[in-house]
Structure 1
Amino acid sequence: MDIEDVMVRKERIEGLVLNWSPVKISNMHVDPLCVKAKVVIDTTGHDAEIAKIVERKMGKNLRTETGGVMGEKSMWAEVGEEEIIQNTREVYPGLIVAGMAANATCGSPRMGAIFGGMLLSGKRAAEIAMGLMENI
């Protein structure tokens, strides 16, 4: 599956527009699948694909220092592990970044996935999502 776009309603991310990878590879014209969601969590890794789509479509309105996807810094596991938890957050209404997508979005170092930061990031993302859904 490939993420083609996000669904936006009243300046809030409310889902994803997806298509099958073979459709993209073969350049076929097939209607995408739209998946509605109260909250979207970007866990696309180093590429932070969903955050980049939101930046491209909605402008530099992300909750980062620059307003956009800052890109990850070079490998520094200790710092990356520390910062991944604080970087796991809602960066646009309805969009949470977690894992390496969080560090890439917020400009922190990459890290080896041998520590607990990735698990703690996922736990934090789930807690944030549950809190957001209670208020929707």
Structure 2
Amino acid sequence: MALDERIITRAIMDRYIAKLKEAIDLDVAIVGAGPSGLVAGMLLAEAGKKVALFERKLSVGGGMWGGGMLFNEIVVQEEAKTILDQVGIRAQHYTDGYYTADAVESVSTLTSRSVKAGARIFNCVSVEDVMMRPERIMGLVLNWSAVEMAGLHVDPLAVRCQVVVDATGHDTEVVKVVERKVPGSLSTPSGKRAGERSMWAEEAERLTLENTCQVYPGLYVAGMAANATFGGPRMGPIFGGMLLSGQKVARLILEQLQS
């Protein structure tokens, strides 16, 4: 069979545009395809919700992808091992309450399960702004990450959704936009983003789950973004709290959408 470069190009363009057009109206838009975002996207899609994840980097997986200092193994505590078991990620017992898993297997499995459940993942896409109405966030304003990095003046496109999840980790990209546009409006003690504190794994894992919540009408925080919003510490390469946070935010959103 003779190959025609024009057909290859048309195939990529047609299929990508079709995916993007399907994502213009969503139930849930998740910003950040790290561990909490991937788990949330998988569970929401499995529940029949229309979900898309927007990841600013070329690769997905967030901090999980590199394990600890590029040793591509992760640690999870016993409470989170059930999530690994449910999706078929092999975990090895290390010592009391601690399990390890291959970082590459973990990210690739969660990514595959999310996409096969129906979630769409768009990489190299950054959130430039949010669509906001007086009462709530209504969607996201998107641009290519390369445009943002180059500092080019290129107008963005927008997608609409019922709920946004900020799962952007330390950067809290969406929360920062809301804080800038509506100062003092976040449901934190100060009304502002507190920023993350120094590493304390035990406290961070607890607070990651506790801080996973709605922080502005239509905006939830999950994973490290939850701790950075409320002033919790960072936890390093233990990812149980991230996985459990993705599970919790999916449950909270389903409760909201079904009410």
Pairwise TM-score range, normalised by the shorter structure: over 0.9
SS at match of 2:141: strand
The equivalent of 1:98 in structure 2 is 222
Tell me, in whole angstroms, the C-alpha distance in 2 between the residues paired with 1:104 and 1:129. 20
Please tell me whether Structure 1 or Structure 2 has the larger radius of gyration of its CA atoms. Answer: 2
The alignment yields a C-alpha RMSD, in angstroms, of 1.2
Residue 126 of structure 1: how far off its partner (Å): 0.5
Query: 8 Å contact 1:39–1:132 — kept in the other structure?
Result: no
* 1:33 is the counterpart of 2:33: no
Alignment of 1:32-111 (within 5 A): 32-111=156-235
Q: Which moved more, 1:111-120 or 1:19-28?
A: 19-28
Residue 28 of structure 1: how far off its partner (Å): 2.9
Tell me, in whole angstroms, the C-alpha distance in 2 between the residues paired with 1:73 and 1:65. 16
Q: Which runs of 5+ in 1 are unaligned?
A: none
Relative to the length of structure 2, the TM-score reads: 0.50
Residue 93 of structure 1: how far off its partner (Å): 0.3
The equivalent of 2:248 in structure 1 is 124
Tell me, in whole angstroms, the C-alpha distance in 1 between the residues paired with 2:153 and 2:191. 34
* 1:10 is the counterpart of 2:134: yes
Relative to the length of structure 1, the TM-score reads: 0.93
Residue 9 of structure 1: how far off its partner (Å): 1.7
More helix by share: 2
Tell me the percent identity. Answer: 57
Q: Which runs of 5+ in 2 are unaligned?
A: 1-124
Residue 99 of structure 1: how far off its partner (Å): 0.1
Residue 27 of structure 1: how far off its partner (Å): 3.2
